[in-house]
Amino acid sequence: MAETSPDSPKQVRPFFSPFRAGLRRLVFFGSVTVVNLIATYWLYDLFERLGVHRAHGLLLIVFFVLNGLLVLGSFHAIFGAWDILLGKKQAVRITKLAEEAGDIPLTRRYAVVMPVYNEDSSRFCARIEAIYRSIEATGHIEAFDFFILSDTRDLDLWVLEETAWTNLCRKLGGFGRIYYRRRKINSNRKAGNIGDFVRTWGGGYEAMVVLDADSLMDGADILKMTRVMEAYPNLGILQTPPKLIRGASIFTRLQQFAMRLYGPLFIRGLNWWQLGGGSYWGHNALIRLKPFSDFCELPDLPGREPFGGKILSHDFVEAALMVSQGWEVWLAWDIEGTYEEAPPTLIDHLKRDRRWCQGNLQHLWLIFARKLPLTVRAHLFMGIMAYLGSPLWFLFLIFGTWVAWDRAGSRLSNYAYDGTPVDRLLHIDGNTQSLILTGFIFLLLFLPKILAVIGSILCSRVRKSFGGMIPLVIGSLMETLLSMLLAPCVMVAHTAIVASIVLGHAVGWGTQNRDTDGTSWSEAATVHAMPTLLGLAWAALAWHISPTFAAWMAPILSGLILSIPVSVWTSRARWGKALLRSKILATPEELNPPSVMQLADVAKASIDPALDATATGRHGVVAAVVDPYVNGVHVSLLEPGEMTPGQEAVVERCLMDGWQTLTKAEQNELLYDAPGMLMLHRAVWLRPAEGIHSTWTQAVESYRHRLDAGYDGDQ
């Protein structure tokens, strides 16, 4: 093998033949382009029959883009089905490559990193515990270290993270293998958090498994991925397709059912053409650290937010930089044990989309950059159009309403002219031509679902994993109906989000809601008031134009008008659980939970009453001051130092007037001041109750109540 520079892939010949990859991309995108051009010309010919209208040109432009996106999505499913049926020998199976590498000890060290931001520490520690025990069961835990990378700003949650981590390490014997770090300044959000890890600790590891706080991965699959990365030195990123789990509400269950049933077709279709030029989705992936460190330092975009500044959707860009430097990015489509959770309600979903939308629209700066491969531009384009598609759909509906209004007002014949090329060639009238186009659009919309359902019914293993044929068919019909009702509301919301970003309103960095009792009627009325009123007004206008046009628009207008009750109803966990009892919208992971999920369900290592910062009256920061064990853990994680007179004054004010009288900056600085925290701890226990604030005296007194109640360590 020829020698290469230290910064280049060590494997000269790429795993995927450039000729084969280029041919596949030509076939795939060529097919999408040809079909879209034919459909667009069909609509143009139909407009010829109708006679010239000012909106026809605009409609054709918007239709070309929208239909192109529809064809692109449907062809991913079609090519995925083709790959599943005929391409088993050609499709790269990560599991097979791992088996070829052999069951030998790993030669390199690997990190499992989980960035967290204001999360429930007991829940993300349960996931870490499950992954740890799952890797431990493979016999290769010595090759892995774990890192909790905290950007948490809530000071109480910071203390809870420290105690949860300490308990986790004590129970698992993980000191020196499970690490915790909280950044004092959380610059550049998650990308900055990961970047800080790479710069500080990355040199000690060959690669890192990147997780989200809601991620869960099977240890055996992580081992397979590391074996493949060791065997193929030019592999830069190995991305897995996570499955959605733990959905309780109807909304989340719709998402996880759809992803589990239809997702494999799209994943295989995506992998069919991208091959070694894949993308990175930000989590549940294995990344080689040396090239990531060398090439993936993200630049600031020109100008200010929302389009400039720090790159929010960093993952696509990092994969683009890897591929542009000759490193391969693969999609590990056959890795099964990879999971994540989703927002529980439509409103939470839209809040997350607000952040993702701004990040994806920033990629407009990058999509035409020089020296980017075709696959990179394709991924960036699809990410951008995931959000620009909604305002384009909205425009298409407006232009269509404009044309219908003008034609109704002019009282012209619907089909004033025959003799167009389609008429001369096929000898069909305008109504038939219109119905054929409509049927083609609906075929593109529903063909992926039809292929997935038929394939699942024919495969007994898959059919049984979804609870049988009847629950599978009922669930797919319910998912289709509810998705049709939700889509118009999402369209209007995305259009408003894009408009807000274009007007210069940048997004903040909020915490994702991972659990909820459901959306209240008042919240739904506030959030969905605009689409509801828009739907009512549009329905009145459509009926005024003609009952036929109103019927044509009914599926979209119904979704807008019913957005409030649909949002509330789909947020209810109790209805989701009722469906699960009937196996409706059930997924294989619910009916037969994998071992790593079972481990996470019973994981309690981070919870121990001997070291606890959650008790009433001694929660979070108060526990870090008062509780001897919590104070000891917190101080041990701080840098030693000497107190200044100013810091002593802050400590005295905190003692006398209470924690809440300090400013946010003073609170943060005090919690980083080891001598100050020790001084506070001693003072609340040694000074007379009359000389300190009631917060501290009540917390100290609570220990006496616990002893008086006969506390035995099990409460």
Q: Is the pLDDT of residue 82 over 70?
A: yes
| Percent of residues, the chain, with pLDDT higher than 70 | 93
Of 363 and 111, the structure prediction assigns the larger pLDDT to 111
Binned at pLDDT 50, 70 and 90, residue 2 comes out as: very low
> What pLDDT digit, counting tens, does each position of 502-540 carry?
888 766 555 555 555 689 999 999 999 999 999 999 999
> Which pLDDT score, from 0 to 100, does residue 616 have?
86
Q: Looking at 5-19, 89-103, 113-127, 626-640, which range is the least confident one?
A: 5-19
Binned at pLDDT 50, 70 and 90, residue 3 comes out as: very low
Tell me if 149 sits within 8 A of 112, measured CB to CB: no
Q: Is the pLDDT of residue 555 over 80?
A: yes
> What pLDDT digit, counting tens, does each position of 625-641 carry?
999 999 999 999 999 88
Of 539 and 704, the structure prediction assigns the larger pLDDT to 539
Binned at pLDDT 50, 70 and 90, residue 131 comes out as: very high
SS3 string, 3-66, reads: CCCCCCCCCCCCCCCHHHHHHHHHHHHHHHHHHHHHHHHHHHHHHHHHCCCCCHHHHHHHHHHH
> Which pLDDT score, from 0 to 100, does residue 510 have?
55
> Which pLDDT score, from 0 to 100, does residue 427 have?
84
412 vs 508: CA distance, rounded Å: 52
Q: Is the pLDDT of residue 399 over 50?
A: yes
575 vs 250: CA distance, rounded Å: 7
Taking phi over 0 as left and psi of -120 to 50 as alpha, with beta for the rest, 303 belongs to left
Taking phi over 0 as left and psi of -120 to 50 as alpha, with beta for the rest, 472 belongs to alpha
> Which pLDDT score, from 0 to 100, does residue 503 have?
86
> What pLDDT digit, counting tens, does each position of 220-250 carry?
999 999 999 999 999 999 999 999 999 999 9
> What pLDDT digit, counting tens, does each position of 327-366 carry?
999 999 999 999 999 999 999 999 988 888 988 988 888 8
Binned at pLDDT 50, 70 and 90, residue 715 comes out as: very low
Neighbours of 695 (CB within 10 A): 21
**Mean pLDDT throughout 65-84?**
96
> Which pLDDT score, from 0 to 100, does residue 714 have?
46
Longest pairwise C-alpha distance within the chain: 100
138 vs 149: CA distance, rounded Å: 25
Of 615 and 126, the structure prediction assigns the larger pLDDT to 126
pTM of the model as a whole? 0.91
Residue reference for tokens 């993936």: 296
**Mean pLDDT throughout 163-172?**
97
> Which pLDDT score, from 0 to 100, does residue 100 have?
85
> Which pLDDT score, from 0 to 100, does residue 92 have?
79
> What pLDDT digit, counting tens, does each position of 270-301 carry?
999 999 999 999 999 999 999 999 999 887 78
> Which pLDDT score, from 0 to 100, does residue 135 have?
97
Tell me if 602 sits within 8 A of 149, measured CB to CB: no
Q: Is the pLDDT of residue 8 over 70?
A: no
> Which pLDDT score, from 0 to 100, does residue 515 have?
55
Which two structure tokens, joined as six digits, stand for 397? 């509906």
